[in-house]
Structure 1
C-alpha cells in the first residue's frame, strides 16, 4: 500500500483507531501517574528515605532525561521499519515499562539507608529515563506519523488526553486505599497487568502511514540521516521549539507539584488522605468535559489565543488555592478553574508541535518528528521532575517529620506553596510566553 503526500495530508482517522490510540495513555499513566503521584510519599513514609534525598534524586533523573529524550528522538528519526518509525519502539518498550513499575514499589523498608537510596536511584531512573522515555516519546511521535491532517492530529490528541486524564483521576482516587489494603507491591503488579493490556491494544490497532508515502520510499530519502549535533542545531535555531519546551516545563511543574504535593495537602491540611481523590476529580473533570471543544475553539479563535487563555486560567485557579485553599469548597473552585485552563493547554500544546515540525520542514527541508516530539516529552519530564523535586525540597525546608500526625506551621506553609503559589507563578509565566507562539500567523 502506498499514499501520495496529498492523501497523507488528508488522512482521516477512524473512531476505533482514535480510541485505541487514547488507550495507550491509560497504559502509560497506570505507570506514570502512579509513580508521579505516589512515589514520593511511598519513599518518605513507607520506606523511610529523607524527603530532600528523594527530591534530589527526582531532579537528577530529569537531567538524565534531557539527554535520553534527544537520543530517543534521534533513534526514531533514523528508524525505517515496515511498521514505521515510532511504532517499533512503542512495541519494544511495553514489557520493560510495566516491569519497571513493579521494581519501583518493591523496595524493602528493612534495608539499610544506603542500600535503599541506591535501589531507589537505579529503579526510578531505569523507569523514568529509559522505559518511560521510549514508550511516551514513541506514542506521542506516532500522532504526526499516523496522519498529516491537523484536525486528525488534534482528534488523536484529544482521545489521548481524555483517556489520560480519566486514568489520572482513577489512579489518584483509588491508589491510596488499595495500597493500604493489599500493599504497594501487589498493587503495582495489578497496575502492570492492566497497563500491558492497554498498550498491546494500541500496538495492534494503530498504524503509522507517513512511511507509505511514495516519495518517502525513495531509497535516497531512506538513507539520509541527521546527526544528533545537526538535529540539535536545527532545534536551537527554531524559536518555536524553545517556546514549546519552556511551556511544557511550566505546565508540568504545576502538574508534578500538585499530584505529589496534593497527597500531603489532603493528609496534613484536611487530615483526610482520601480527599486527594476528590481534589483530583475537581481538577480533571472540567478538563475532560472541555477537551472535545478545544479543537473547535482553536480553529475559531486561533490556537495561540486559546493556549494563552489556558495558562491564564491555570494561574488564576492556583492563586485562589494558595490563599483560600484550606476551605474545601474554595479549593474545588480553584481546581475547576485550573482544570478548564488545562483543557486548553493539554489539547493544543502537543498538536502545535506538529505545526512546528511542518514549519521546520518548509523552512529547512528537514523533518524531525522524533527530535521535535522529544522536546515536548523532555519538557514534560523535566517539568514533572522539577515539580516532584520541589515537593521534596520544600518539605525538608519546612521541617517535615515522616509519619507524624501533625506537621509544623512552616511545613504547612511549604505544602500550600507547592500546591498553590508556585503553580500560579508558572501559569502566569506560561500566559506571557504563549502569546508569543504566533506560528499560525507566520505560516500564513
Structure 2
C-alpha cells in the first residue's frame, strides 16, 4: 500500500517528512540534552559529593568549553571536506553512540583517594572527552541535518519543534529525577555512578534509532535529485569564516545563541543551589521541575500557532519579553518558594520558542550565505556558531562556580554566609534578566524572515 503524498508547504516547497521521521530525528536532541543536562549537574556533584573547591571546578569547566569550542570548528571543517559521494553527517551519529555511554559513566567515577590536583586532572580529561570530542562529533553533523534534510521552512520549523520538545523532555528528566533518584540510592558517589550508567545506555539506544531514520538529502515523494544542491566545492576555512562574519544575520544569531547558552548553562545547575540554600531543601528541585512541566507543555502547544501567526522572529520577541518581565518580578521577593516558582514558569515558557526556533533562524542565515556568496558552507556555519554556543554554555556553568568561589562557598558546610546568598541571587536572577533583555534587543533587529521568500526564489533561479 503506497503512502499518501505529503504535498507542499505554503511557499510551494515539496514536503518530505512524516511523523516517524520527526520522532527519530528528535532523538538526537534527546541524547544531546541528556549529555548537557548531566554536565550541568557536575558542579553540584563535584562540590557537594566529591568535595572539590567551587572556584577550581568553574575554571576547569571553562577550559573544557574553550577546548570544546575549537573542536567544533575542526569538526565542521572535517564534515564539509568529506569526499564527494560519501555521507557527511549520518555516520557520526552511529560512531559516537557507544563512546558516549562509556564516557558518561566515567564522569562520576572520580577517584576519591587522589589529591585535589589529580582529581581536577581526571575531571578535565573526562569532560574534554565527553564535550569536546563526543558531543561535538554528534552535534555538528546532527545540526547540519536540519538544513539538508528538507528545503521546506515549514518542515524545518517542525523539526525544530520536535527536537526542542524531545530535548526538553530529557532536560526535565535530568532536572526532576537526578537529585531524588541519587538521594534515594544513598546520595553518595556510588548512587551517581549508577544513575550515569542508566543514562548512558539510554543515549546509546536513542542515537542508534536516530541514525536509522536520518537522511542526507531532501529527496522524497515528488522531490527530484536535481533539486538538491548540498554538494558544493569545499571552501578554505579562512575564506569560509570571512564570509560568515560578513553575514550580519549569522553574526546576530551567533550572539543570540551565545547569550541563550549562557542562560542554559546557568539554569542547568543553579536550581539545586537555590533550593538547598534559599528554600532549605534540595529535594524541592524535583517539585520545581514538575511544576515547570506546565509552562513547558503550554510552550510547545503555543509555539506552532504563534510562529504560524506571528512568524519565527516575532514569536521570539514576545517570548523574550515575557521572560524578562517574569524574571524581573522575582526581585521583589526572592525567598518565597511559591512566588518564585510561579514566576519561574514565565521564564520556562519563554525558553521554549527559543529552543524550537533558533535552529530555524540559523538555517535562514545559511540560506542567506548562499544568496550572498553562492555557497552554504553548512557544517562550517553550524560549527562556528556552535563555537559561540559552547563558550556561552561554558561561561554559564562557570559563572555559578565563580560566584560561589568569590563568596567562599563550602559545599560540605551546613550553613552559608550572606555573601553566598547574594551569589546565588546573582546567577539565578540578575544575570538571566540581563540576558533576556539582550536577546530581545537582537530579535528586534533581525529582519531576514520577511526577505526569505524572495531570497529563496533568487537562489532557485541561479540553481
Contact 1:84 1:211 in 2 (8 A): no
**What residue is the counterpart of 1:138 in the other structure?**
141
Residues 421, 323 of structure 1: alpha-carbon distance in 2 compared, 3 angstrom cutoff: farther
Q: Does residue 1:200 correspond to 2:208, yes or no?
A: yes
Contact 1:48 1:109 in 2 (8 A): no
Give the CA deviation at 1:409: 0.9
Q: Distance in 2 between matches of 1:10 and 1:167?
A: 31
Shift of residue 215 of structure 1?
4.3
Name the counterpart of 1:26: 30
Q: Answer whether contact 1:76 1:138 (CA < 8 A) is retained.
A: yes
Native 8 Å contact 1:325 1:331 kept in 2: yes
2:147–2:378 contact (8 Å) kept in structure 1: yes
Q: Deviations over 1:204-253 (max 9, x none)?
A: 122222489644899xx957211211111111101111111111111121
Distance 1:222 1:146 in 2: 13
Residues 1:285 and 1:164: Cα distance change in structure 2 (over 3 Å): farther
Q: Does 1:174 align with 2:183?
A: no
**1:312-370 per-position Cα deviation (integer Å, ceiling 9, x unaligned):** 22222222334423211111222111122112211211111111111111111111111
- Measured at CA, do residues 392 and 382 of structure 1 come closer, stay the same or move farther in structure 2, by a change above 3 Å? same
Equivalent residue for 1:3? Answer: none
- Following the alignment from structure 1 to structure 2, what is the Cα–Cα distance between the partners of residues 357 and 217? 15
Tell me how far 1:292 sits from its aligned partner: 4.0
Aligned residue for 1:404, secondary structure, equals coil
Tell me, yes or no, if the aligned pair for 2:66 and 2:390 is still in contact at 8 Å: no
Residues 343-382 of structure 1 mapped to structure 2, 5 A cutoff: 343-382=352-391
Counterpart for residue 347 of structure 2: 338
Question: What whole-Å deviation, never above 9, does each CA across 1:127-172 have from its counterpart, x for those lacking one?
Answer: 1111111112222211112111111011111111111111111111
Deviation at 1:263, TM superposition (A): 0.9
Instruction: Indicate conservation of the 8 Å contact 1:97/1:135, yes or no.
Output: no
After superposition, the C-alpha distances for 1:268-287 in whole angstroms (9 at most, x for unaligned) are 11111111122233345423
Deviation at 1:439, TM superposition (A): 0.6
Q: 1:91 pairs with 72, 94, 107, which one? A: 94
CA contact under 8 A between 1:166 and 1:288: conserved in structure 2? no
**What stretches of structure 1 of length at least 5 have no aligned partner?**
1-5
Q: Write out aligned runs for 1:386-405 (5 A).
A: 386-405=395-414
Match of 1:260 in 2: 269
Q: Deviations over 1:382-437 (max 9, x none)?
A: 22111110000000111211211211111011111111110110001110111111
Are 2:168 and 1:165 equivalent residues in the alignment?
yes
Normalised TM-score (structure 2): 0.89
Q: Which residue of 1 aligns with 2:193?
A: 185
Deviations 1:12-44 (A, max 9, x none): 3100110111122222222221121x1101111
Q: Kindly tell me: are residues 160 and 222 of structure 1, through their superposed partners in 2, closer, same or farther at Cα, counting changes over 3 Å?
A: closer
1:17 to 11, 15, 21: 21
- Equivalent position of 1:116 in the other structure: 119
C-alpha contact (below 8 Å) 1:22/1:163 kept by paired residues: yes
SS of the equivalent of 1:108 reads coil
CA–CA separation in structure 2 for the residues paired with 1:309 and 1:250:
17
Contact 1:261–1:415 (8 Å) recurs in 2: yes
Alignment length (residue pairs): 436
Moved over 4 A (4+): 6-9, 80-83, 210-213, 215-218
Structure 2: how far apart are the matches of 1:74 and 1:229?
A: 10
Partner of residue 384, structure 1: 393
